[in-house]
Structure 1
Amino acid sequence: MPIGPRYRRVSALQRQFFDRESVLAAYEAALDRLPAGPDPQVFNVVGIGGIGKSRLLQELRNRTGESYRTARLDLQVPALRQQEDALAVLRTEFGAQGVKFDRFDIAYAVLWQRVHPQLRMDRSSTPFAEQSDVLSKILDDAMGFPVFGTAAGLVRLTDRALSNRQRKQHIKSDPTLQDLDNLSNAELGYAVSYLLAEELREASGDRPFVLYVDAYEALVPTPLPGGKSFGADAWLRDLLGQLQGGLTVVASREPLQWAAYDEDWAAVIQHVPVEGLPMDARIDLLSAAGITEGGRQRSIAEASAGVPFYLHLAIDTYLQNPARLETTITSEHIVQRFLQHVPPDEVRILELLSVARTFDFGAFRALGRAFNLPAHLLTWESLTAYSFAYPLSQGWYRLHQLMVAALQSHLSPAVKRAVHDRLRAYWEEVADRLEGSPDRGGVSRSSPLREAVYHGLHAEAITAERIHEYADRGMAMGGRQVVDGIVKDLRDYLAARPGGEGSVREAADCLEAESLLSLGNARAVIELAPEVDRRAGTAVSARLSLAAANARRIAGESRTAARIFQQVWEEQSGSVRVSAGFCLADIRMWQGDFAEAFELAEAVYGMSRADKPVVRADVKRLLHLGHRFLLSFDAAADLLAEAEAEYRRAEDPFGLANIRTNRAELLVFTDPEAAVAEAAAALTVQRELGAQHEIGKAYTAMAMAQIRLGQPERASSSFLSAYAALDRAGYRSGRARADMYRAFLLLQQGDRSEALSTWRRAVAEFEACDVYPSLVMTIHRAAVRLGEEDGQLAGAALRARAGLRPLGTLDALEHRTDEILSLFLGAAA
């Protein structure tokens, strides 16, 4: 913002008022409660610097009707932080509205002469002499009262000064006035406060009062975390504690913690938070000031984080020179506003903490020690007591958005990189510690890994391979949400550096593709990685190729997928080779080469260490699927139980969810009633994970079981739900398999022609996708049992038989197939 007078920004108080409906409603309710009984009432408006508390107090006063007396005490004015000056302002404002301060005026005159003994007590030098008819007449008669014995002498002079007998007696009999001469200066100050409060209370019987106290933190800039200060606000607490019959509105950055002095305060202070303006109100405020261009308006509104101070800075800049208005106003104004009352030794550590998105006591100590700044508990409690430090879960904090940007502008690029690197190391230590803890996994437990990646990126001290290592650990500890967060951080980092960081971009593509695959969203993966060939020899590029190939497998491009799996299996090493081997075994199985698939699976299992339970569980589950497709249900059940045990040891929610789907599919053949219940349970967990392909498979299993149970209407509904999920996932072979079993439902319903057409479509899809030759043979054998001679199905069965390599003989497999067909065909055969 250009150099200019500070007065220009005061114009914000004259601009249109927006929003704050909840605060206004609470204020109206507080007014309606007056008079509220023998206790004072404090309405504490709380919000960070710049949030609009002063403007809000002005609006509250403007909306308070003539039936209330009002006065404002602005503690931003240094003089008004002194008790005697503040009392003088209140006496003047309330006195102008008809309150008689006879006793206060006399007591204040005594205090004034105590503080200024060199001055004569006359109209020209005594406060309120002109406003107070009692004091003016007394001074006229006194003609320069002696220094000592002032209070007693002034009270005696009321006999001649006043004609109203009741007022005269009220003053002469007041015990406080009679004691003034015996009080110390400090005690005299509190006596003056008492008399002002008492006379204000007496006047509130016919007309209640409202006192507005702005910027409490100017009086007490650094309260201790427990709520107590060093006595700077003692006179204010004393005064407000006596103001019964009215309402005091106190605006402060932090909630008043006066209950630390006296727990009775807790019952009379109502804390009312002032939050950032909502987006609609920000837009309206900018529009009213003439900033109407949509893009500029939106960018300023978003950058403001709802803080009116920032919006007014933008407006002032625009009014001075519209051509110079930028989306970000100079940060120094923000710093000054937020840190106006923060001690200098705390500002420096806040500058370093601004580099952290979140921080805890450990991060605070790590930075303090690294940069030789205060890192003890007292400083930590002071920093986190400020309202611009927002508490999160797990004892973490974050700083206000605007403050972060402003503070970071004070740091050089080299210092910021050093801070990022220290924070990277710190969050790595936290992640290591949590990873070894006995607690169950979760996002909060794995979040330090995301923070380590974020700071490693900005410290320029992390490789793509290391990013993937953290993501894998995060998946194991907290699930896909952490990985998605890492992807977002990578995308944001790349967006700020267009055209650079190729390895980071590849890492982001790979992680996003793998996350999309876990949801079964093959189409999105294909769009993200249109090139399936491995483009480089790095582990990250190989993983991206595997993800892209898996998406093609789901989409029906099995040959292309198998070629990529084979290439990575032959050329890579380590965990990437293990993944490629598993994928290759998986696709070989669905292509009907069970012998090679089982051999590959056993090799992958042997390459997997005992500390990799998820990989070992995946292999066991794959072997279970092979036995299930070969209709060896007892062996399949045993392998499924072994896989489940490994997933439980790894606490892998995705593997355990898939186990439920697979169990439902297996129970279809052995216990259809239990299969329906298991499919329902699988749907519950798969919906939580968002895995569309697994949802489609679970609905298919439910429909198959319902066919066996003689529930055609329910089976028909389940098939429709299965189709919807499988189509969303782009899972062609899964949709064809659902079609295959739906044909059995059509036979139950007596529609043989449509059943045969459905089988033909399913076989055509199986062949196009190069999968499930055993199912192609099953469909042909079902048609033969129905007495249907279909050339298309017969030709497909011959081709399937030629490529099928089961573990045993084909005759044995066909015999088991006929037994299963009997379960579904029943009387239709």
Structure 2
Amino acid sequence: MSALQRQFFNREAVLTAYDEALQSAARAPEPRILNIVGIGGIGKSRLLQELRNRTDHGFRTARLDLQIPALRQPEDALAVLRTEFGAQGVKFDRFDIAYAVLWQRVHPQLRMDRSNAPFAEESDVLSKILDDAMGFPVFGTAAGLVRLTDRAISNRHRKQRIKSDPTLQDLDNLSNAELGYAVTYLLAEELREASRERPFVLYVDAYEALVPTPLPGGKSFGADAWLRDLLGQLHGGLTVVASRERLQWAAYDEDWARVIRYAPVEGLPMAARLDLLTAAGITERRRQQSIATASMGVPFYLHLAVDTYLENPAQLETARTSEHIVQRFLQHVAPDEVRILELLSVARTFDFAAFQTLGKAFSLPAHQLTWESLTAYSFAYPLAQGWYRLHQLMVAALQAHLSQAVKQSVHARLRSYWEEVVERFGRLSDGGGISRSSPLREAVYHGLHAGSLTAEQVHHYADRGMAMGGRQAVDGIVKDLRDYLAARPGADRSLREAADCLEAESLLSLGNARAVIDLAPEVDRRVDTVVSARLSLAAANARRIAGESGTAAQMFQQVWEEQDGPVRISAGFCLADIKMWQGDFVGAFGLAEDVYGMCGADKRVIRADVRRLLHLGHRFLLDFDSADALLDEAEAEYRQADDPFGLANIRTNRAELWAFTDPEAAVVEAGAALTAQRELGAQHEIGKAYTAMAMAQTRLGEFDRAASSFLGAYSALDRAGYRSGRARADMFRAFLLSRMGEREETMSTLRRATAEFVTCDVYPSLILATHQAALRLGEDDPDLAAAALRARADLRPLGTLDALERRTGDMLTLFLGTPG
């Protein structure tokens, strides 16, 4: 008997959470999502069925089962929802028209008639339009369909609603991708409207089928973007999503954290296990206790035991552990197939080629017939693009049959296999349909468990992962390293240092300086290996962001002097960077050019970083023409390297530059930069982009918008712990306050910015600017004057100091107006 058809037991906590969510969802002005979370086999699908059965008839309900491959495509999923909700009285007039337009875009070769058109029978609007069209072959433009509604619909309100809908009016101008978004929007809007008289509940089962391997931090490679887009628009009801891991959608947009409630599904308590077994006919007390204990409360095991009992009650006499139950599940699998399943249990994911690799290595059948037989079993879980994963509840029992030596041998062969996959995918423009960096992570995982991976090799893989797939690939490697080390407290210390280093670099890319300092608190550390030197660089950069410029400079200098190769180049770049912020532009530019000369053509990212550093230097010296040219050079290098982080930073820098030279363009570019940086999660860059937008809005006279943008900048910069960036935002906000006539607050903000510049030992050129700004306001502040005097002594600009002060005066005129 299917587990879905058996009697339902327990789950009171989840039922209570569901009832509470249901009561509040219909009144909520925003989406409401209840995320039911539990491991595979814990009974989530059965629970969803029970929730739907219990739901009052005052709610419309629909179910989206992502275990069905077709329903992982947005167009098919929307069609299912339209059909289910439409059968319960929801009118989808506008959605049906838009979907018909999308359908004909995708199938231009087909005639639109009752036999072909989607929802032709379910939709009274489309059915009447098709009847009135009298067989004309092509009329599927939105404008044409809307015109035909005049005769097709008699209800004046419905007719006017369709004819006046702005989304329908614009459909013919949209790309196919945009048309897909519009179709989703219209389904959500018509469902929202219908929810005013009768709310809805949508059940989404097996989210992991859509995103089988979520990335650390919650992100994926976009497979679930359409689902997030849909659910984000569903007001007036409740969506229940069943998944193995918590939905971490706040990684994309923090507002998700407010609307998602989590309900964990744990193992059944002992009493419920015994009730389930009794209901299935297993009543003998000793048997019940044995099976219930072995099941660990997982219904999957319990149902296997029940099925075995129903086939032959005598076979359960010795079932005392989950191993026995699993063995009974495998009893009809051929011995050779069981052996290769044991080998495949070592792989986290596998395809036909991996199966063949292991089969040949261990002289087991590796032909197509065996493959098809294995993947037909329910414990072989299909993923995208022909990949598979064994059910997690089977893995431990299968691996228990392998000796440590065999497992290490399998890991070693899988490491080699995944390295070959990396090379193969690297030659495909689309990465073979999956993330190009995923095989790298698998190679590291298997290399670790084979005991054949050094700390420096881990870093080599991570660097390749960054080049191929971005920071998420590195985060995955760090997670695997941490899990490996947690199970082996006595593992090589260098591997632990490698994990610390990669995590620190990842945190640094997000601007989380404080977390990096907590991870690597030592200032005086050995830098005798590449890994220890890289960790020192990450810790030094965190201190630079946190305002400890002097300490950071010492750490950079140590690596620069004691290391060679790529890590020395990175240290030289960082040292040039901090010299520039401290006002030594001459020394910084000289060192930067030396570093650039040390970089071959294969070091495009660091070459781009150097050009961008020189751009920033010229921008702080207010030489905007040179800054613009260098930014173009840096962008070209980043594009050749296909570096998403560098290109996102270019957008931020261009917005900052245009805030001085073209404020209207700067506002637009800052918006684009915010989009790019939010996707990457770089809080310090988000703060800089908001600052650039606020600067431009100040120049444009949009003071309210500028004030709001500065608040956004403060929030992001404070989260990042970016003290000097916050102080720079303060300085430009003081200019806004001056334009708004807030004289006292202007001076207070200028003093606060200057004090932070001094504390952080940065931006002497900006200290000159704050002093000049105060003088323009008629304020000869002694503290600002003293700070400016010290700043002049620290500055080594290109050209003369007088020329820099003249350009500073011109810049102040842009933001404060003409003096006098």
TM-score with structure 2 length normalisation? Answer: 0.64
1:803 and 1:664 mapped to 2: Cα distance?
Answer: 28
3-state SS in 1 of match to 2:627: helix
2:263 and 2:325 mapped to 1: Cα distance?
Answer: 20
1:417 and 1:619 mapped to 2: Cα distance?
Answer: 44
Q: Counterpart of 2:359?
A: 368
Q: CA deviation at 1:752?
A: 1.5
Structure 1 516/748 Cα, relative in aligned 2: closer, same or farther at 3 Å?
same
1:622 and 1:275 mapped to 2: Cα distance?
Answer: 45
Q: Counterpart of 1:621?
A: 612
Q: CA deviation at 1:311?
A: 9.9
1:14 and 1:605 mapped to 2: Cα distance?
Answer: 69
Structure 1 301/733 Cα, relative in aligned 2: closer, same or farther at 3 Å?
farther
Which of 777, 784, 788 in structure 2 is aligned with 1:786?
Answer: 777
Which of 383, 387, 392 in structure 2 is aligned with 1:392?
Answer: 383
Q: CA deviation at 1:370?
A: 1.1
Structure 1 residue 712 corresponds to structure 2 residue 703: yes
Consecutive unaligned residues in structure 1, runs of 5 or more: 1-12, 21-47, 64-273, 292-298, 317-327
Matches within 5 A, 1:315-464: 330-439=321-430, 444-464=435-455
Structure 1 residue 286 corresponds to structure 2 residue 270: yes
What are the superposed Cα offsets for residues 415-472 of structure 1, whole Å, 9 maximum, x if unpaired?
A: 0000000001110111122234334799711100000000000000000000011011
Structure 1 681/303 Cα, relative in aligned 2: closer, same or farther at 3 Å?
farther
Structure 1 residue 645 corresponds to structure 2 residue 597: no
3-state SS in 1 of match to 2:612: helix
Consecutive unaligned residues in structure 2, runs of 5 or more: 13-38, 55-241, 246-261, 276-291, 310-318
3-state SS in 1 of match to 2:437: helix
AA at the equivalent of 2:448: L
3-state SS in 2 of match to 1:398: strand
What are the superposed Cα offsets for residues 39-95 of structure 1, whole Å, 9 maximum, x if unpaired?
A: xxxxxxxxx999999x99xx9xxx9xxxxxxxxxxxxxxxxxxxxxxxxxxxxxxxx
Q: Is the 8 A contact 1:442 1:478 kept in 2?
A: no
Which of 665, 681, 690 in structure 2 is aligned with 1:690?
Answer: 681
What are the superposed Cα offsets for residues 648-685 of structure 1, whole Å, 9 maximum, x if unpaired?
A: 11111111111100000000110000000100111111
Matches within 5 A, 1:438-587: 438-439=429-430, 444-587=435-578
2:573 and 2:441 mapped to 1: Cα distance?
Answer: 28
AA at the equivalent of 2:465: G
Structure 1 823/388 Cα, relative in aligned 2: closer, same or farther at 3 Å?
same
Q: Counterpart of 1:680?
A: 671
Of residues 473-482 and 408-417 in structure 1, the stretch that sits farther from structure 2 once superposed is 473-482
Q: Is the 8 A contact 2:270 2:297 kept in 1?
A: no
2:394 and 2:564 mapped to 1: Cα distance?
Answer: 47
What are the superposed Cα offsets for residues 399-425 of structure 1, whole Å, 9 maximum, x if unpaired?
A: 011111111000000000000000011
Q: Counterpart of 2:714?
A: 723
Structure 1 333/345 Cα, relative in aligned 2: closer, same or farther at 3 Å?
same
1:49 and 1:722 mapped to 2: Cα distance?
Answer: 42
Which of 785, 801, 814 in structure 2 is aligned with 1:823?
Answer: 814
Q: CA deviation at 1:532?
A: 3.0
2:42 and 2:264 mapped to 1: Cα distance?
Answer: 16
AA at the equivalent of 2:436: R
Q: Counterpart of 2:154?
A: none
CA-based RMSD of the aligned residues comes to 3.3
2:638 and 2:320 mapped to 1: Cα distance?
Answer: 53
Q: CA deviation at 1:15?
A: 9.0
1:575 and 1:523 mapped to 2: Cα distance?
Answer: 26
Q: CA deviation at 1:789?
A: 1.0
Q: CA deviation at 1:600?
A: 1.3
3-state SS in 2 of match to 1:550: helix
Q: Is the 8 A contact 2:42 2:266 kept in 1?
A: no
What are the superposed Cα offsets for residues 467-499 of structure 1, whole Å, 9 maximum, x if unpaired?
A: 011011111111111111111101101111124
Matches within 5 A, 1:624-635: 624-635=615-626
Identity in percent: 74
1:699 and 1:52 mapped to 2: Cα distance?
Answer: 46
Q: Counterpart of 1:176?
A: none
Q: CA deviation at 1:290?
A: 8.4
1:522 and 1:468 mapped to 2: Cα distance?
Answer: 21
Q: Is the 8 A contact 1:279 1:306 kept in 2?
A: no
2:631 and 2:735 mapped to 1: Cα distance?
Answer: 27
Structure 1 residue 309 corresponds to structure 2 residue 302: yes
Matches within 5 A, 1:159-178: none
Structure 1 489/311 Cα, relative in aligned 2: closer, same or farther at 3 Å?
farther
3-state SS in 2 of match to 1:611: coil
AA at the equivalent of 1:558: S
Q: Is the 8 A contact 1:441 1:477 kept in 2?
A: no
2:664 and 2:41 mapped to 1: Cα distance?
Answer: 64
Q: Is the 8 A contact 2:691 2:729 kept in 1?
A: yes
Largest Rg, 1 or 2: 1
AA at the equivalent of 1:664: A
Q: Is the 8 A contact 1:334 1:403 kept in 2?
A: no
Structure 1 611/300 Cα, relative in aligned 2: closer, same or farther at 3 Å?
farther
AA at the equivalent of 2:302: F
Structure 1 568/443 Cα, relative in aligned 2: closer, same or farther at 3 Å?
farther
AA at the equivalent of 2:498: A
AA at the equivalent of 1:591: Q
Matches within 5 A, 1:75-86: none
What are the superposed Cα offsets for residues 109-130 of structure 1, whole Å, 9 maximum, x if unpaired?
A: xxxxxxxxxxxxxxxxxxxxxx
Structure 1 52/687 Cα, relative in aligned 2: closer, same or farther at 3 Å?
closer
Q: Counterpart of 1:745?
A: 736
2:443 and 2:642 mapped to 1: Cα distance?
Answer: 23
What are the superposed Cα offsets for residues 363-382 of structure 1, whole Å, 9 maximum, x if unpaired?
A: 11111111111111221122
Q: CA deviation at 1:536?
A: 4.3
3-state SS in 2 of match to 1:307: helix
Q: CA deviation at 1:331?
A: 4.9
AA at the equivalent of 2:518: E
Q: CA deviation at 1:286?
A: 3.1
Q: Is the 8 A contact 1:595 1:806 kept in 2?
A: yes
Of residues 275-284 and 412-421 in structure 1, the stretch that sits farther from structure 2 once superposed is 275-284
Q: Counterpart of 2:587?
A: 596
Structure 1 275/623 Cα, relative in aligned 2: closer, same or farther at 3 Å?
closer
3-state SS in 2 of match to 1:490: helix
